[in-house]
Structure 1
Amino acid sequence: MEFDTNIPIYVQVIHDIKTEIVSGILSLGDKLPSARELAYKYKINPNTAARIYKELEADQICYTKRGIGTFITEDKDILVEIKKEMASNLLDNFMSGMMQIGYSKEEIITLIQNQDK
């Protein structure tokens, strides 16, 4: 994974994990790699990997069973919320970019409607 130097690494890895969850690569209830394995996979510091899991747990995206490992939540509502949040962020960035190059909301809607025509 190529990291953007303008965004903290742990935020980028969290986004990648969320993307894998909403896209179905990771399923609800799946066991996540250990913090050490996560650090190796992303070539990051083990402390950063531990922070990633701490953040995901704080957001109720995963939970840890002591001595067994870390698992993705089985709560489908959380999956729906993650998907909505990610979609909203994508739309905000898209709209902001389009408006920066001079498009109005109405012009953007027209472009989208005519995209496949």
Structure 2
Amino acid sequence: MEFNGNAPIYIQVMDLLKAKISAGELNLGDKLPSVRDLSKELKVNPNTIQRAYQELERESLVFTQRGLGTFITEDSELIKSFKTKEINDLIKTFIEDVIKLGYDIEDVLEILKTYLNEEEINEHSGNK
């Protein structure tokens, strides 16, 4: 993983794990790698991974069982609302960015409709 200087590393680790949850690479109840294993894999200090896990636990996305490890929550509604929030954040950022470029909402909607129609055509014709 390449880290950037725009955010603390523990937040970037959190974002990585959240992305894996959103993408379904990590599922309800899955065990996360140990702090030590993930720190070796990502080449970061174990304290950084520990902090990321603690913050994810505060957000209720993971839970720790003493002596067993850290696991993804088993609360499907929480994961669903997390994913919805992630999507809404992406949409908000996208809309803010295109408005900064001088587009209005009607332009954005037309561009999205065109894009989605083209994607649907490509998907049905196997041109992906």
TM-score (norm 1): 0.94
Is 1:75 the equivalent of 2:67?
no
Counterpart CA distance in 2 for 1:100 and 1:9 is 29
Q: In structure 2, what is the equivalent of residue 34 of structure 1?
A: 34
Higher relative contact order (CA 8 A, sep 6+): 1
Letter of the 2:13 counterpart = V
Q: Secondary structure at the match of 2:71?
A: strand
Q: In structure 2, what is the equivalent of residue 100 of structure 1?
A: 100
RMSD: 1.1
Counterpart CA distance in 2 for 1:86 and 1:40 is 28
TM-score (norm 2): 0.86
Provide Cα deviations, 1:61-84, integer angstroms capped at 9, x if missing partner. Answer: 111111111111100011112101
Provide Cα deviations, 1:23-59, integer angstroms capped at 9, x if missing partner. Answer: 1111100111111111112211111100001001111
Q: In structure 2, what is the equivalent of residue 44 of structure 1?
A: 44
Is 1:9 the equivalent of 2:9?
yes
Structure 1: where are the runs of 5+ without partners?
Answer: none
**Cα offset, 1:8, TM superposition:** 1.5
Structure 2: where are the runs of 5+ without partners?
Answer: 119-128
**Cα offset, 1:107, TM superposition:** 0.8
Provide Cα deviations, 1:6-31, integer angstroms capped at 9, x if missing partner. Answer: 12211111111111112111110011
Moved over 2 A (4+): none
Paired-residue identity, %: 41
